[in-house]
Amino acid sequence: MANDDSLQNTIGRAKEEMGPEETSVSGNRNAGEKRFTKSLQVLVTILVASAAFKFFVVDDRARLIEQDLAVSALDLFMEADASVVIFYTENRLLPEGLPAAALSPFVVYERLDADRYSLQVIYPPHDATVERNVANIAPPRNLESLLNL
Cβ neighbour number for residue 101 with a 10 Å cutoff: 10
Extended beta strands in 19-115, E state: 107-111
Angstrom distance (rounded) from CA 11 to CA 5: 10
User: Minimal CA–CA distance to 115: which of 99, 139, 131?
Assistant: 131
Instruction: Determine the pLDDT at residue 76.
Output: 83
- The alpha carbon of residue 66 and the mean position of all alpha carbons in its chain are separated, in whole angstroms, by 10
- The alpha carbon of residue 69 and the mean position of all alpha carbons in its chain are separated, in whole angstroms, by 14
CB 84 within 8 A of CB 109: yes
pLDDT, one tens digit per residue, over 2-36 is 556 676 777 767 666 665 545 455 555 676 777 77
Angstrom distance (rounded) from CA 57 to CA 93: 50
In the three-class reduction of DSSP (H, G, I as helix; E, B as strand; rest coil), residue 133 is classed as: strand
Average pLDDT, the chain: 75
> Pick the residue with more confidence: 139 or 111?
111
Rounded mean pLDDT, 127-134: 84
CA dihedral (32, 34, 40, 42) positive or negative: negative
Confidence band of 56 (pLDDT split at 50, 70, 90) = low
pLDDT, one tens digit per residue, over 63-84 is 777 777 777 778 888 899 889 9
Instruction: Determine the pLDDT at residue 111.
Output: 94
State yes or no: cis peptide before 99, omega within 30 of 0.
Answer: no
Instruction: Determine the pLDDT at residue 23.
Output: 47
> Pick the residue with more confidence: 138 or 146?
138
Confidence band of 61 (pLDDT split at 50, 70, 90) = confident
Rounded mean pLDDT, 99-117: 91
